[in-house]
Amino acid sequence: MSEKIAQIIKMIEELTVVELNELVKALEEKFNISPMQFAFSAPQAPSQTQETQTSSLVDVILVDSGANKINVIKVLREINPNLSLKDAKDMVDNPPQTVASQIEKAKAEELKKKFEQAGAKVEIK
């Protein structure tokens, strides 16, 4: 591995979860790519099971933090323990924010209930 690549990897390791998420989105936009483009299986028609799995994966987006932001921060840190307090606060202070991506719809509904109990408004897309 070249030294340049090693430096880039080291810099990425030091990013917070929110910064890493922003980096991924910026790279996807800059190079007009998506993770699905890198599936290494031979091209084939998707089976019905594959279509169901793909269509059942959703994102949970924090639309409004509500009046009691502390409870929303607690929920964020509960679902992502690696999220720092500062990053969680930044997410709560600057909606809309994707709080979970490409998760099963049932899990997304559970998260939505948790956020609503904390006083936040979320969307599932």
pLDDT-derived band at 40, boundaries 50, 70, 90: very low
* 88: three-class secondary structure by DSSP: helix
Instruction: Look at the pTM and tell me if it is higher than 0.75.
Output: no
CB atoms inside a 10 Å sphere around CB 61: 17
Please confirm whether the linkage preceding 46 is cis (ω < 30° from 0). Answer: no
| Over residues 107-119, mean pLDDT | 89
Is 82 a residue whose pLDDT tops 60? yes
pLDDT-derived band at 35, boundaries 50, 70, 90: low
Is 39 a residue whose pLDDT tops 60? no
Nearest to 59 by CA among 125, 110, 120: 125
